[in-house]
Structure 1
């Protein structure tokens, strides 16, 4: 794939996937990091709502890890997808929902970077999707696991990005109502 084409994140054909930001998992993350990650995911999800980007969310074994944190749960289109496989792609309802969006690019955020997020990334890349992994909107309990996930994501062909970089790529120009609303979100985080 042409490297420039791979790096461009386009609004049309992109889906935001929020992986496993759950009530009993979040407290296991470093307090400062988890707050920043949730703030960034919330900004991305709100921007997705503003610009019309579809949003899918998953929960890993919610009976044990609880539901999606309240500040993010309302952003999912349709029901939050429950799963037992680490990769979201191990759940048929996730694949069906994704297929229904007619997307070829995935904006990927969530927890934990080196387990569910990374395994989802591998499966999505393997299925021909171009994954944009938002490094400041993912986390792991340990920094080494987080950094290894980033390195491995690059090796797998994913594009590693940031919240602000991704949002400005999706907007592509200033002066619109969408730009003004999303700019305010970026300033507020």
Structure 2
């Protein structure tokens, strides 16, 4: 039977990868990526989806950018490209009901790709939020998204992933999430098939 890629808040986790200060001037469409990731983060937290945050060598690359809105969450430092460092693995093991991971961050061809492969190996569905993922090079981003899809990840958008989690406009958080969707529209530069897209 084909994998459908459904999402349920109680069986999902959001991973935010390395959205740090030193990347701000060099990542393609960085402000749009952070905005989309913040939208997913806000929606997930409203829906009770746990959020895990990593930082790549924070002593060199600086802290997570404040506009992501994760000041109160633990940041897991790493040197590996994959986010699945021991503290993150421990968080995942503590939630045996997990079936899906939602992934935002940078860079698509490095940390996003290697994190996705590790999560897929563990049997989780991986939803890569394409308007919340980027790279220094638009070409690397585009090729990485194709590679992620070939490997079995679901490519999605910030709006689609939040609606999948909601499932019904009768959900008590619908108006809150709808407001997030209305307020923030992804930049054209990150649309699939647009400049820097596939």
What is the TM-score of this pair, normalised by structure 1? 0.92
* CA separation of 1:104 and 1:175: change in aligned 2, threshold 3 A: closer
Task: State the distance in 2 between where 1:117 and 1:147 align.
Answer: 13
* CA separation of 1:87 and 1:167: change in aligned 2, threshold 3 A: same
Task: State the distance in 2 between where 1:75 and 1:172 align.
Answer: 29
* CA separation of 1:104 and 1:127: change in aligned 2, threshold 3 A: same
Structure 1, unaligned stretches of length 5 or more?
none
Q: Does 1:40 pair with 2:27?
A: no
The Cα RMSD (Å) is 1.4
**SS across alignment from 2:131:** strand
1:88 Cα deviation (Å)?
1.2
The answer on whether the counterparts of 1:46 and 1:75 sit within 8 Å (CA) in structure 2 is no
Name the counterpart of 1:177.
172
The equivalent position to 2:126 in structure 1, one of 113, 127, 131, is 131
Structure 2, unaligned stretches of length 5 or more?
185-198
The answer on whether the counterparts of 1:48 and 1:54 sit within 8 Å (CA) in structure 2 is yes
1:76 Cα deviation (Å)?
6.4
* CA separation of 1:9 and 1:75: change in aligned 2, threshold 3 A: farther
1:165 Cα deviation (Å)?
0.7
Task: State the distance in 2 between where 1:51 and 1:127 align.
Answer: 24
The answer on whether the counterparts of 2:35 and 2:68 sit within 8 Å (CA) in structure 1 is no
Q: Does 1:116 pair with 2:111?
A: yes
Task: State the distance in 2 between where 1:186 and 1:155 align.
Answer: 29
Q: Does 1:65 pair with 2:64?
A: no
Name the counterpart of 2:83.
88
Q: Does 1:152 pair with 2:157?
A: no
**SS across alignment from 1:177:** coil
1:7 Cα deviation (Å)?
2.0
The equivalent position to 2:135 in structure 1, one of 136, 140, 156, is 140
**SS across alignment from 1:24:** helix
Between the two proteins, the alignment pairs up a number of residues equal to: 183
Please identify which structure carries the higher helix content: 1
CA deviations over 1:74-107 (Å, ceiling 9, x no partner): 2664x21110101112x11111112223322000
Task: State the distance in 1 between where 2:125 and 2:100 align.
Answer: 5
1:73 Cα deviation (Å)?
4.9
1:175 Cα deviation (Å)?
3.1
* CA separation of 1:76 and 1:141: change in aligned 2, threshold 3 A: farther
CA deviations over 1:106-140 (Å, ceiling 9, x no partner): 00000111111111001111111110111111001
